[in-house]
Amino acid sequence: MLRTIAEGVHTHQSELLANNAVVVQGDDGVLVVDPGLTEAELVCLANDLDGQPVVAGFATHPDWDHVLWHPALGPAPRYSTARCAARMSEFRAGPNWRTSAAEGLPPEIADETPLDLFGLLTALPEDATEIPWAGTEVRIIEHPAHAPGHAALLIPERGVLVAGDMLSDVLVPNLDELNETNDPIGEYLLGLRLLEAVAGDVEVAVPGHGSPCGPAELRDRFEQDRAYVLALREGRVPADRRVGPTAAPGWEWTTDISIEQVRRLAERAARS
């Protein structure tokens, strides 16, 4: 079911992982951001559009749960940053990409998640700052935190920030550790600064997972994510309400993520 969070902006949340798809109404159709997760949920989202055509899609980053699509949403171009699209193109070029994608799915929905249109993205120019569509301005804020080509979306006229996999009330920050040459801590902190720089006029922020929030809680979430990442840099499991016994029901595994990130960063430091 669509939930209205601002004029012409709606969310549709998955049951597992609380993924938030975002729907923005335009002049001749809608923009759909990060739809998911199961076939039934994707079809439900399409039906909830009540006949409005999908004229554009957008994937905020190349994680499996943000690059899904379904024929019921139509053949509209599904945009992403150039880096995100390149990452998915490289993945799909592998001889066993479908098997690899299926193995990465949560077992609870592995048989229910459609992969035929998985990761088929249209790269925007590297200097693109807006989504090209006939609708309200949707700004692209690309940053290096969490994943290659990660981007948040700012909808100034609606006061909405679509944050991708950051600023969640249930999911802890996950670092981009795909190679040994980057600075995952510094990149995450930079991503937070870039989002914080545009957050002054935001009335509703929508994380990739969890609950949308207003300005006061958004400020708290910036501080929470920053404190979490700084704790990782110090080599300790963060004291965070999303970790340990205070984690949301069903999200206890975020503690394992936190412990594993501390371990990997220590190993990485030892190799350098």
For the chain, domain boundaries = 3-271
pLDDT band at 178 (very low <50, low <70, confident <90, very high): low
Residue 181 pLDDT > 90:
no
Q: How far apart are the first and last CA of the chain?
A: 49
Superfamily of domain 3-271: Ribonuclease Z/Hydroxyacylglutathione hydrolase-like (3.60.15.10)
Two structure tokens written together for 150: 């990660």
Answer whether 206's CB lies under 8 Å from 161's CB.
Answer: yes
Answer whether 62's CB lies under 8 Å from 91's CB.
Answer: yes
Two structure tokens written together for 234: 């110090």
pLDDT band at 269 (very low <50, low <70, confident <90, very high): confident
Two structure tokens written together for 127: 């200097």
Residue 69 pLDDT > 70:
yes
Answer whether 148's CB lies under 8 Å from 87's CB.
Answer: yes
Two structure tokens written together for 59: 């994937």
State the average pLDDT for the chain: 96
In DSSP terms, 11 is beta-bridged to 3, 22
Average the pLDDT over 174-202 and give the result: 91
Burial of 242 (0-12, 13-18, 19+ CB in 10 A): buried
In DSSP terms, 155 is beta-bridged to 160
DSSP H or E segment with residue 100: helix 97-103
Quick: pLDDT tens for 3-56: 999 999 999 999 999 999 999 999 999 999 999 999 999 999 999 999 999 999
Quick: pLDDT tens for 129-164: 999 999 999 999 999 999 999 999 999 999 999 999
- pLDDT at residue 40, as a whole number: 98
Instruction: Classify strands 54-58 and 78-80 as parallel, antiparallel or unpaired.
Output: parallel
DSSP letter, residue 72: G
Residue 121 pLDDT > 70:
yes
Residue 245 pLDDT > 90:
yes
Average the pLDDT over 57-74 and give the result: 98
3-state secondary structure (DSSP) of residue 248: coil
Q: What is the pTM (predicted TM-score) of this model?
A: 0.96
- Residues near 67 by beta carbon (within 8 Å), at least 6 away in sequence: 59, 80, 88, 118, 119, 121
- Spatial separation of the C-alpha atoms in residues 84 and 123, rounded to whole Å: 8
Placement of tokens 């720089």 in the chain: 197
Answer whether 87's CB lies under 8 Å from 118's CB.
Answer: no
DSSP letter, residue 44: H
pLDDT band at 111 (very low <50, low <70, confident <90, very high): very high
DSSP letter, residue 214: -
Answer whether 209's CB lies under 8 Å from 225's CB.
Answer: no
Sign of the alpha-carbon dihedral angle for 144, 170, 1, 159: negative
Sign of the alpha-carbon dihedral angle for 44, 45, 46, 47: positive
- Residues near 206 by beta carbon (within 8 Å), at least 6 away in sequence: 5, 11, 20, 22, 160, 161, 162, 163, 212
